[in-house]
Structure formats: C-alpha cells, structure tokens
Amino acid sequence: MARTRPENAQRQHSQSGTEKDTIWKKEARTAKDDMAIDSNGRAEREGAVMGEREAGKNLRAELKRRRDEGEQNLAICRNQIITLKETEPEPPTLVDTLTNKMNEMLLLTGQYILDVIMVTEVKPKHSTEPTSEPMISLKGYLSYTNLDAGSHRGIAIYVSNSIDHLVTEISLNTTYEETIWLNIKLKGKDKLLLGCVYRSPSSTGQNNIKLFNLLQQIPEYDSTHTAIAGDFNYPEIEWTAWSTTKPEENHSQKVIDACRDTYLHQHTIQPTRHRHCQNESLLDLVFTNEEQMVLSIDYLPGLGISDHAVIIFNVHVYTPTTGQAQPKYRYHKCNYSSMNDQLNDVDWSLMDNLSVQEAWTFSTPPMRRL
C-alpha cells in the first residue's frame, strides 16, 4: 500500500485487493524551501486515533514476537490474535479475497496516516460472484481499479480524500492488463508517476514480454518522479545483487535488464512472503527512479492470514506548498440541458427488475459519461 500529497483530479472510483498488499506512506521533505503540506486537521486526526494506533502496533508486535518464538498458524482476526488449528480448514472469510479484509484495512488506516494504499489480487482466485467497486470501498478514500478491464485478479489503488484533488488516472501505451497508473501533482511543474503492477506466477511468455515493454517505456512519460510497487512474483531474483538463479535467457534476467535500462532502483530487501513449510521469498517490490526517494520501509504481518507482508514506506517527494486546497466545483458552468438529454437517452425502465448490483452496473457508465 502507499502514500503521497496531491491537486486537480479526474476521479475514478474503485477499490482494493487481497493477499499482496503493498502499502505506501509518504513523508514530507523537511527542507525549508521544499516543505510538504500535511492535510488539514492532521494533528486532530492523529490525536483521535492515537489509542487505536498504539493498540494496533502492540497487536502486530505481539504477533511478530510469538511467530519469532516458533508459534505457528497465528493470524490477526477482528483485532485479536487467533490460533488456527491445522486439523481445521482455514476460515473461508479470511482467505484469497480482499472483500472480507476490509475491516482490517480500515483498522490499518487508523494506525497509520496513509495517503495511498496499493493492493494486488483484489479478486479471489476461484469465485462465481463478481467483485464490484462498492464491495471494496474504503471510508476516507477514493479508489482506482481495473475490475472492468478483464483482468484475472485485479488491482486497486486507494487515494486519501485529502490529496485526491492532485491525482489523475492516466493510460500508458500498453496491453499489459494487471496495472494501474496515476499522475500526482507535486510542487511547481513536477509530478509523480505512480504505478501498481501484478504479475501472476503462472504468467505466460507473451505476458512477460508485455511487462518488459511496459517497464522500458516508463522514461518516455514526462514525469520528474516515478514510483512503482506491486507483486512481481520473481522469487529467483536476488535484488541486492541484481542477479538471478535462472539462465541468462530466462525472463527473470530480462526484467532485471529492463529495470537497469530505465535506471530504476529497487528498495525492498527483506522477504515479503512467508508460508509454513515453504521457503520465504521476496516477491513484493518497490521501484523508484531516485535512489534516495524512499526514506524507510516497514514490513508488517499480512492482513488476516495472508502469507504476504504489508509494506509501509515513506516517499521523499514534495507537494504544493500552498494551503491545502479543496476542490471547488463550478456547478454554474454545467450544461444541464445536455446532461438531461443524455440521461433521457437511457432506458431507465430496464432497471425495474434488476438486483442492486445489476442496477449499479447498469447506471454507472451513463452517469460517468456526463
């Protein structure tokens, strides 16, 4: 998951993912001339959530201590540590889906001040019911997803309401589906290109080529800062040495070459996936185009019984130093006649016998086209 402070936004609402949760928290530059502006009321919010934050930190610290001492099958469920019995199946409400972890996501936003939260594998691997935006909404955040793009697992980026006016969703010239890109306005003419990527461990050779091409075209985008996070599923890569245990012609070597060609720096160094009876591995990555751009990284236990760590990192960027502007809509400039004409062209009677979910799916596109 993630964090940053942004100005004019093209709001697209959607929401988050399951196991591989890469959280990104941005700290402002402290230099006098480049001081970042915190959101209004931050001090009040910090005071209000102090108790919940401390309780959450203590809970996660206790979970880590018990795991380090050798206890197994532990998980955080409903704000307490539980022990899962090996003879019993894992609770289906905690497995392979984000929808049943939204309460824990909300708890996390109370423990940390997060500007951006990035989540991969939003949708369950096997499900007969579709995952929709309302099912994964998060209080205090706008979301950007690719749930309607035909993606298999889905990605969501949550942006805090305090900075959404600085954020715009953009489209890069790529056919790689499991990715979302945002533009975040910074100080002056600077801007941050923020991307979230998911690569399946069963990714095809053709899909891998699309990912390499995507990484190589990043410098072509006119941004002063770049940050990319997600689950890349390359356990064979040793990122401290930028080497792989696979042959040179393997796609893991090609992704290393693509990152080198685009001068990206990879910041996560600790294993991010831990599963009982399996080797721990580093799968969740954080790339930037500046080596000193990431100030610190915290590795927290996964949400629920997820085997992927929650990663929280501070990003050294700076946003406009004016007062935290709130968006002001120019309602008097709207062409209400045209809006009425467009809505009248829709046969709303088709909604009469639809379920709530079907009505949402039917009505959202014409409303967003206004």
What is the distance of C-alpha 144 from the center of its chain? 9
Provide the 3-class DSSP secondary structure of residue 11. Answer: coil
Q: How far is CA 293 from CA 180, 183, 187, 265, in A?
A: 21, 17, 15, 9
CA 47 – CA 70 distance, rounded (Å):
36
Which tokens sit at 256?
């290393």
List per-residue pLDDT tens for the chain, 370 residues long. Answer: 554 444 333 333 443 444 444 444 443 343 333 434 344 444 554 554 456 556 767 777 787 788 888 887 776 655 677 775 543 333 333 345 676 677 777 778 877 888 999 988 888 776 667 777 778 888 889 989 888 766 678 888 999 988 888 999 998 888 888 999 999 999 888 999 999 999 998 899 999 999 999 999 898 888 999 999 999 999 999 998 999 988 888 889 999 999 999 999 999 988 888 766 667 888 899 999 999 899 888 888 777 667 788 888 888 887 655 555 556 667 767 888 888 888 888 888 888 888 888 888 888 888 888 7
Query: What's the pTM?
Result: 0.62
Domain chopping of the chain, boundaries: 21-40+92-102+113-315, 335-368
CA 156 – CA 187 distance, rounded (Å):
26
Determine the longest span between alpha carbons in the chain, in angstroms: 68
Regarding the domain with residue range 21-40+92-102+113-315, which homologous superfamily does it belong to in the CATH classification?
A: Endonuclease/exonuclease/phosphatase (3.60.10.10)
Structure confidence at residue 256 (pLDDT): 93
Structure confidence at residue 332 (pLDDT): 66
Structure confidence at residue 56 (pLDDT): 66
Scanning the structure block, which residue is given the tokens 């003879």?
87
Yes or no: say if 144 and 14 are a contact pair by the CB < 8 Å rule.
Answer: yes
What is the distance of C-alpha 358 from the center of its chain? 26
Tell me the DSSP string of 91-147: PGGGSS-SGGGHHHHHHHHHHS--SEEEEE--S-SS-SS---GGGG--TTEEEEE-T
